[in-house]
Structure 1
């Protein structure tokens, strides 16, 4: 068992600079430079221990040391304590010196106020006696707890210091942080003198705490133990020693088990100290302590007002709470101490204090969130003014991204006006950020309360977008569709037109777009869509406009314009879905960097559901950009983030993305295992997630060589897309995949209509990806030179797009076609490119197929890497490893004996292969890929 620590054993740890400063003051005083030093700090910080060192050093140098402590308010009580502390060296005559000085003091008078006329002869007599002492030896006056000193003593010390120029004198006082001096005016006058030097004591640093642990136990301390000890004790030496003693009594050492007990022991020690202090306090102080606990802060004006006590009593209470460790360095109440402070009171009294505190803070103009914290503790239905404050606090919480807290405030405010559908809608939107399943019934309740069709439509739009990918019962989905479609009968101008625009976008998302003739609605733009910063309604409108334009596939420019406006105007209180929606439009338009930035903003500070949606979107963007390893890491992290907090049924879209990634990695059997355990979207899901699900299943079946099943699933995807009214050619390009499958099984004639359909959509959308996919589909189906020319055009177009995997597929298709046409040399060139591009981006299935065909064509190439780390060359791995360790580009260059430009080139390729854009994402991408590989290895093989 570790031995107990003796506080005064050995040297003082972590106080080198303070000891040096004290020694300097003592030496200066011995040389005739009279002065005063005031040690300040919280209780237990080590002030008394430092004074003991000063006392010992002064005695070694032959000084007369008078040391007093715990003076009271009576006149000259501090001097009486000082003079009684003489005689510290055995056999010395210091005791008689102290007695001689004490003889100049008048008789003890408890309540006599300071009178300069009465004090004058006493002061002069004491000064002369002290001066005679200083002609023979230095004089050191040490007074602990100086803030408790009476006015007579402080005034005489000031008098002495002013008249001791050239005499060997040092006065040392201590003062606890936050302690109110017994004689404030005299204390200010004394400490304002130029010969008074403050010496604040900071908490011990980590090295000093580690030293204390080393004295406590001979066993080596684990770093985590020391870190926990610093966190729990705040670097306070006395608290640290007490905690270590208790830990030793329990048989724990400085290891992981001991670290686990530190927080519990710290809370218990703090609570015990608070209870002991309260037991010894008067009723007034206990009332003030309860007020501190309720307020959570030590502001004495608020404490006095809440407790109904004089302010000086509130000061005393705050000092007492600081001494027993109930307060943090910032004056806030420790949670464990708060529990102890409130434990002795009854719940009714505490509720009354919270109600009074809310009114007090509201009248004082404090922020709404401070007031709301107390209103949440007040039972019963909130008064109207309380509901207003709660709503204001919810707004502040939303701006800070604390949507769960905002939902709590709104839920409480709703007790006042339960029929307010707007407030209920706001609650549902806040809930949707963290728990979309819980938000659905709140949306439905708001929908039931709303009477106007426009209000119902707005609620339905919010529900459809905020609960993206949340499975709804068919009846609930029908309610949404009914509310949305009824809005189409509204006015055609002003807000009516804009609302109808949002409604049609929501219908696209829910899969009802075709029934509503989505494509017939004109696209509003220009001044009507100018938005203000953090105007949530307008930001949402812009995001919906962007998504509508992107899914309809009519105007890439309009989609990008609206999406950028939405992202630029979104403030911190904006929910996550508008940013995710805008990012979807940007990704479809191949604005990859802008889409990733919007998704990062949506995930920052959001709840698990929003992070899952943003992570899924990030994985989709990375997958579309050919960063397969990065996409896998992102989507696995998104699934892990929500799997423990929500329903598996909500993970249809993330699992569809993961399956698509696994197919590209050449692991189609694992892709089908993922899909087989996934909730089928069906009538309860959205049209968008159902398209992703069917596309992934079709690709997985084709990877297994089952052309008929693959074509059936791809056509189902097209049917859902057509019913939803989605006409963007690259959202779920089932038509292009179908053409490639049909070409491979020599059923080209069946694919001609699909290829023409895709070419029409691609020409309208106009991105290089869309045009390249159309050329690839057409070239795969067309015979002879026509097909080769179209495939060459596909290679050219896709090489200029972010679609690296599609570029590799086009190179493979062209190489295969050239080989079949009798041009093995030309085939080898394109197949080698296909292998390199596909392997570099992680599309290992395609890379393997391209390599095998390359060898058939007479070419040579080493084996393809089969892991995320294997995608990197040896040099890239070394550079990435050093970058993860925190080395700069210049340091990496020096370590590897290469140029900085070479390091930058390697990092650029690493970023592209792993799908990251910044150095701080390297570790996450590499680690996520490794975890994904381990998890994949642990997955059972599919049945059959």
Structure 2
């Protein structure tokens, strides 16, 4: 046995992640050769794909089997037959010093004799790396030896670097025609192999996203991946999600350097084609030839050279050229030449009738789209932007269109288009463009249209008061007499004014005063429905009756009409939820969620999720409320506003009912500031919820201060709705706990008028609880019993559970133990179904102290269903179709499907066939009142309201 190699001492080749299959295949070929059948393999792949490491590993394995291994690397520019001389050295003393074709046959015979002599000692392996650089005569000589030694134990391995042409390329193709010769193409590393390389290089397993970035940046090339990881290790980057941004920067720098080095080695026509591909982003032969002036076979050859160099992806790959490589190729050009190339490309694409977005992709890079046709193409491309990702490109298009210097109405139109496009991504840009468009507009119709956009965009921002003023100024210029030209513009402007003002504490009063004498519209147009939605919100603020606000909200959400968008749907949906019309509210929120997702309106989408969460919490579905609110919080963070107030408020509200006061309090602290203080709903909900958090953490005085502040602020804003932020109920119970019974009684008495005026079962039930808390003796029992009955008729299961608990405690204190146990048991069932585990544990403890048996405390999963879900599920169990259920319960088909999805999840069943029989026997509560001596129960603290 003998081994000879000119490889260095680097042992990195010993690690071959992802190449074990290729190595096993070569070893099987070697086994066939050792058995007496000469074999040859051409191992092909671009630079960095792992050819050299694979050959080194193969040489070591073959040596261990007893083969004589001759391992060399071809030297570019070597003299004729130099490669085979190197392979057979020092056994080439008898080779003739041939340099011409007439002597080739003699050389080939001499090679065969040397090979035969070596094979006499045992199997022989000849391994030649970079064979494409080998002289053609040497490869022809190896082919001769293979043909003459077909029945001898000879193995020939030739490695070819595919992206770099050389003198041996044609001879390698001819060699592959030999019966005993096959090709082995090395592909990119798979994810498992990439993970192994990353782990070995950085010392720990990578996070999934980090691994994906490594694979993307390296393209599966082991060499490029190793260089990337070497640079990452030098930069102190760890393979976790925190290292992603820095890894991408390191990777793009590496790709840039690599691309520049590979491109510099190419001929001029190849570089011209590379620049054309970098500009166009595709390899359409006609356009590529026109832009690069390289055509025909020269173009085909240039593309093949670029693919071999790894600058252009293989044919059929979804990405023709990587963005980092693209930038590197274009960076080699001076700026004026780049500008000229982009302009030529835009003209070619436009003349060829390519899509506007493709033409605009060139125009956005120009300093000024000076030719007359260019702004129109940019606007058309912006109009085609179908999603959030392409909206950024649309914004660039419209900014370039503005840079072209349009005048008059065209400039206004472009500004409005830019505002609409940027609204989901950059509200500040939107408002600035609309203000400029409004300032430039002179015609009443244009001013009305633009100011409506401005107002609706300013909803919930610090610009809302200014937008209300602008809307008011435009409204004052429009004629008031019906039938007068321009009178029809009043409705959309008035609607936008109210939509913008109803949730802004500084703008609400003036807008309310303006709207006091406005006639109520029918709802025949979108503008009228916007106005109806805002009027329903004002009616809810006024405190009722609830039926009036509901009527306005329903007309605003007229189901047969095209759905209004944004704040209009949200406002009307909230009114329905406040009025206990939760099925309609959830259906409206779902419409808003779906529409905003389809239209890529993140803020509307987030607000609708918050409305869903709060409504779900109000019906007692606390777990789903938490999940929905967390989704809203995550979306807000991804949309670039991690401190958004509505998602944090919705999540804090639900977390408090789950007993997580610490996280809820931290969330509320994170949004405290001017943003939350500006909104009507947000500010009062913040004060109310922050008070709940303080009470749960033991700060009764701090909680009471916040609730009383909430009441004073609502009164100052002229809002008398008792359930918008029902601060008065926990304030009453807290005053009683502090022994301030007179103040508690006065507060409870003041709340009754507002409760009766709003008139919903939830409001009446809460009002009865407040009255019961300050009453004594049998009056307290009667009032709490009436509260339980009132809440049983409402969707407020969570509030009903609290009322059941208070009634149970009071009955226990009066000695009515059996009746108390029934109410406490019902508390456990309701609270457990709602996910309010603190109250369930408290009621269970009190129930056991009152002699209740634990065996009777099992809670059916059916109790976790909301009333609406239970009604839908009961009908579904009877075999009624979804369409028939929707018609029976006056719901949309989508709402029925959503309810059933929740039912299956909560009951852990696969479909309607698995629904339990208990759905057909709904629980009917009974109330028991009794007099008796007052006792001291185990725990009679009032639950948090």
The TM-score, its normalising length taken from structure 1, stands at 0.64
Question: 1:439 and 1:192, CA in 2 relative to 1: closer, same or farther beyond 3 A?
Answer: farther
Alignment of 1:427 onto 2:434: no
- The question of whether the paired residues in 1 share the 8 Å contact of 2:437 and 2:450 is answered with yes
Matches within 5 A, 1:375-414: 375-414=363-402
Matches within 5 A, 1:160-199: 198-199=183-184
For residue 797 of structure 2, the aligned residue among 796, 799, 804 is 804
- The question of whether the paired residues in 1 share the 8 Å contact of 2:81 and 2:138 is answered with no
Question: 1:661 and 1:515, CA in 2 relative to 1: closer, same or farther beyond 3 A?
Answer: farther
- 1:758 alignment partner in structure 2: 758
Alignment of 1:504 onto 2:495: yes
- The question of whether the paired residues in 2 share the 8 Å contact of 1:651 and 1:678 is answered with no
Q: Provide the secondary structure at the position in 1 that maps to 2:189.
A: coil
Matches within 5 A, 1:31-430: 39-50=43-54, 84-85=83-84, 88-89=87-88, 92=91, 105=101, 198-205=183-190, 208=193, 220-221=203-204, 223=206, 230=215, 232-243=217-228, 266-295=251-280, 302-310=287-295, 326=311, 330=317, 332-416=320-404, 417=406, 419-420=409-410, 421-430=412-421
For residue 673 of structure 2, the aligned residue among 672, 678, 681 is 678
Question: 1:583 and 1:654, CA in 2 relative to 1: closer, same or farther beyond 3 A?
Answer: same
Alignment of 1:553 onto 2:550: yes
- The question of whether the paired residues in 2 share the 8 Å contact of 1:659 and 1:670 is answered with yes
- 1:773 alignment partner in structure 2: 763
Gap regions ≥5 residues in structure 2? 1-7, 503-510, 541-548, 736-741, 855-860, 865-901, 910-945
Shifted more, 304-313 versus 320-329: the winner is: 320-329
- 2:23 alignment partner in structure 1: 19
Deviation string for 1:370-403 (max 9, x for gaps)? 4333222100245443333333433444435544
2:24, 2:576 → 1: CA distance? 63
For residue 441 of structure 1, the aligned residue among 432, 451, 457 is 432
2:165, 2:46 → 1: CA distance? 13
Deviation string for 1:699-743 (max 9, x for gaps)? 8999759989957844753775769xxx9x966678999999999
1:171, 1:693 → 2: CA distance? 78
Q: Provide the secondary structure at the position in 1 that maps to 2:425.
A: coil
- The question of whether the paired residues in 1 share the 8 Å contact of 2:198 and 2:205 is answered with no
Give the CA deviation at 1:21.
2.4
Q: Provide the secondary structure at the position in 2 that maps to 1:43.
A: coil
- 1:590 alignment partner in structure 2: 582
Give the CA deviation at 1:554.
0.7
- The question of whether the paired residues in 1 share the 8 Å contact of 2:590 and 2:608 is answered with no
Shifted more, 512-521 versus 62-71: the winner is: 62-71
Give the CA deviation at 1:347.
1.6
More relative contact order in 1 or in 2 (CA 8 Å, sep 6+)?
1
- The question of whether the paired residues in 2 share the 8 Å contact of 1:608 and 1:645 is answered with yes
Question: 1:246 and 1:476, CA in 2 relative to 1: closer, same or farther beyond 3 A?
Answer: closer
- 2:898 alignment partner in structure 1: none
Question: 1:824 and 1:706, CA in 2 relative to 1: closer, same or farther beyond 3 A?
Answer: farther
Deviation string for 1:812-862 (max 9, x for gaps)? 56557767988565455435644774587576898899899x699968999
Give the CA deviation at 1:355.
1.9
1:247, 1:749 → 2: CA distance? 70
Give the CA deviation at 1:481.
3.7
2:479, 2:813 → 1: CA distance? 55
Q: Provide the secondary structure at the position in 1 that maps to 2:333.
A: coil
- 2:559 alignment partner in structure 1: 562
- The question of whether the paired residues in 1 share the 8 Å contact of 2:281 and 2:321 is answered with yes
For residue 618 of structure 2, the aligned residue among 621, 624, 632 is 624
Question: 1:194 and 1:808, CA in 2 relative to 1: closer, same or farther beyond 3 A?
Answer: farther
- The question of whether the paired residues in 1 share the 8 Å contact of 2:788 and 2:804 is answered with yes
**Number of aligned residue pairs:** 807
- The question of whether the paired residues in 1 share the 8 Å contact of 2:126 and 2:156 is answered with yes
Give the CA deviation at 1:170.
7.8
1:247, 1:490 → 2: CA distance? 72
- The question of whether the paired residues in 2 share the 8 Å contact of 1:321 and 1:327 is answered with yes
2:489, 2:102 → 1: CA distance? 90
1:455, 1:397 → 2: CA distance? 24
- 1:939 alignment partner in structure 2: none
- The question of whether the paired residues in 1 share the 8 Å contact of 2:811 and 2:819 is answered with yes
1:6, 1:542 → 2: CA distance? 76
2:17, 2:844 → 1: CA distance? 66
Q: Provide the secondary structure at the position in 2 that maps to 1:14.
A: coil
Shifted more, 188-197 versus 313-322: the winner is: 188-197
Give the CA deviation at 1:50.
4.2
Alignment of 1:6 onto 2:7: no
Matches within 5 A, 1:627-638: none
- The question of whether the paired residues in 2 share the 8 Å contact of 1:595 and 1:621 is answered with no
Alignment of 1:467 onto 2:462: no
